[in-house]
Structure 1
Amino acid sequence: MTRPRTGPVLTASDYQHLARDVVDPDVWDFIEGGAESERTLAANVAAFDRVRLRPRVLTDVSTVDTAVSLFGADFATPIGVAPTAYHRLVDAEGEVATAQGAGAAGALFVVSVFASRTLEDIAKASPGGLWLHLYWLSRRDVLADLIRRAADAGYQALLLTVDAPRIGRRWRDMRNGFAIGADVTAVNIDEAVMASTHRGGTGRSAIAEHAAQSFDQTVTWADLAWLRAQTSLPIVLKGILTAEDAILAVEHGVDGIVVSNHGGRQLDGAVAALDALPEVVDAVGGAMPVLFDGGVRRGTDALVALALGARMVLLGRPPLWALAAGGADGVAGLLETTTGELAHAMALTGRPRLADLDRTVLSFRVGGER
């Protein structure tokens, strides 16, 4: 894949523009698209446009500290990489390059169950923290093997996506008849389990058809006991948008949750992730860390989510833009740039530590809270 010539790259959107020039159009739609008319996809980004900040002055901001600890691991930044599949669609080195970039920036990288490089190769390439992401597959033997391999390779937690018993109706992929090319595979899972991801067709998505065949739609809260029996690693649930489910997560003893609507890729019309965040944080009441993803495009967005109670903010599409535009260096550059924007905003709001960020930073109503 040919890299574009670049001038100064100053923002996540700069990586987006560069990536669009080098990524195949069908793959670009797979990355950028959301469910149906993409209302929730747009709402995730627009939610941040409603927020204004209340800066405090005459505060010593000569040192701004963005470091954060989570489940005993230390990170230089509260901005990490969310799980996204098949990084080799945009870079030959795939998740190995993403891991190198995230590690260089001192950031968390959550590796997708549908990674296109082996868990072990990714771990060897990463000087930083790794979690393994899972969907609940019908083949529990496959899940158990992935969990064992992740623990053996030094992954620090499991992140289970819970908002996808079936894949959202992604019209872009359906119109494109999108399928994963034969040269890119989910190498950590038996080929027989993944075969349908390579069979596209007019008006249908191979990704959705694979999910319909492979995801267990009968799973309930009670099944978390099986997952807990497989591992001593922390278990984090991704896809929580309501107080009711946040309370159930606490009651079922999980270790953390991610407020997320799957980047607007599941239920079109679902609440923007930012609007759900205060409700979920309040329901948890400090019983576990709450993470966030959905629409974060700059450091000030991350600051807003952190002020609303998120412990860490995960980026989904932007690391893929950076990977396509610049490989491992691009991923590191994106995370360092966004962390720099966060530190700058912390200084200018007079909150030099992450612990100083609370809802008094925000000037108006977000998700029912001031």
Structure 2
Amino acid sequence: MENVGIYVHVPFCQQKCRYCDFPSWAGLSEADARRYFEAVCLEIRAFAAEQGRLSARTVYFGGGTPSYVAADHIGQVMDCIQECFELPEGAVEATIEANPGTLTGEKCRAYRSMGLNRVSLGLQTTSDEGLKALGRIHTYADFESSLELLGSAGFENISADLMFGLPGQTLEDVRRDLARLTALEPVKHISCYSLKIEEGTAFDTLYRQGKLALPDEALERQMQHAVIDGLAEKGFEQYEISNFARKGWESRHNSLYWVMKPYVGFGLGAASYYKEERRTNVMAMGDYCTLAEQGKAPVLEAHTLDVQEKKGDFMFLGLRRMCGVNDADYRRQFGSSFFEDFEEIGNLVAAGLLTREGPVIRLTTKGQDLANQVFVAFV
């Protein structure tokens, strides 16, 4: 039986960040939360009734801010997952996203007792001024306090999110963030992203009004290189375009996405890839809960990939990893060579965007800078 990954979306947060376009809301009531998590459990049980008791090696609670809600709600869903899936003892990576300022010692201990063993902390920057500009609810001191609480509760696998390209940010600011974060021994993994202005966000409004002073493209590129080089110097190996880890602490759940392994998503807006079908749940809270309560699949859209789509996904998702893609793996899956199926590879190598070593191709440094230009060749 093939293992699956499990994703659970928690759409609640204390305050909507100015850059966030994820399906999440602030100000929902405890009654809303109770109804929502009961609906999630109904969806999980309906899936298990249809597909059987599958084996799962990763569980991931994302948001929103999963740590904002009462730990009992997370425990309710974990109990349901353990009821409906086979979770091999000692072999499951179970992650919860958390924001500094929302954790307590009691919550952290509750997470450990219910089987969670990895925490992804939404830091974003060590600058309190920068955090305020982003609309975050916490300070850098809150982040440090969160690390202490998690350590006291027995968490060893802790990841931190970091952003660059922020309003008013300088290259020195980025280097300061890296120096502070890499000096913290409990942090084993760092996910690092450049700020993207997403449509409909508060930052989008400010940007359109000319009120958001962002670094120019050249400076943002310098920041990206500073991140890659700075983390490497401190023992954080880049294993994917945006992800870095101390040796042995790579994210197992996120890695499923890049190698096209099956995962099932539960909750509002959650995405799945299972039995060669990509599926996304409805985005409206009322619609989601009502459909789950009626015993119906709360699906917004579903699409079964054809062979050409699977080949394209294999390439552009796999090329996000620093190890690249291997033609031998491609041949085993599709019975043909990607060098034959994608003539563009030769042009990308010639342009210095990809490098080839025998059957393996991977992004060059220039290719990382212009990754979207590479990926579009396979879509």
Query: In which range does the TM-score fall when normalised by the shorter chain?
Result: 0.3 to 0.5
Query: TM-score, normalised to structure 1's length?
Result: 0.38
Is the radius of gyration larger for structure 1 or structure 2? 2
Query: TM-score, normalised to structure 2's length?
Result: 0.37
Structure in which a larger fraction of residues adopt strand = 2
